[in-house]
Structure 1
């Protein structure tokens, strides 16, 4: 299971919550053993879109005031939107909710838009968003990530 799948699955199963912001997921890589991943935003989105075992959605989260990635399971099928296609026409496992449709029309366009939107926060190690303020992980967040990667 990939690092981002571990995070999203554990969050869903243990905390009964929807998902994480993109900087949160990218920043979590610093807790991986042996630095097995070194993805930027574009790499993450392309990886998610190519993953056949898990459908992931991008949606707006009111509590963070930001976009999140979450697992699209049977409880999320009523959310309006569409599965994105790659520029070559192949369908992906990345579901774009109607609220987020202005991000682009293909996986590649969305990946680039999200890179432009979030990479600056990642570069300055502002991985988390608490009280709608960006910053580093709080202790409970880093503990959760470390537990996921055991």
Structure 2
């Protein structure tokens, strides 16, 4: 049985310094914008991934995970659940250590594939909620 609580702890404390935030744009009304700011406050480097490739919170954006010219630790997914599986597969191909599906993003098959590839995987949760719980 997969221990998601342990995965959350690992991702937030051991494995997650650089976070590619898929769906992050300069739109301050979107949840991704606010969550990325919280991640920064906790010392995480955020990398915006959005077709517009905008600079957000001082970090240059990229149109896709494949366009990022450096390693990422965690891929944080803010896209529709029907698109999330493809993003998880891209995260595996990119060599990420973990994938995090945000609140409301659910794809059980993608979750199983990602875990089978050896990555930590969290689904339907928010790191901005989980970080303070760690104490």
TM-score by length of 1: 0.28
Flag the structure with higher strand content: 1
Bigger Cα Rg: 1
Greater helix percent: which structure? 1
Instruction: Give the structure-2-normalised TM-score.
Output: 0.30
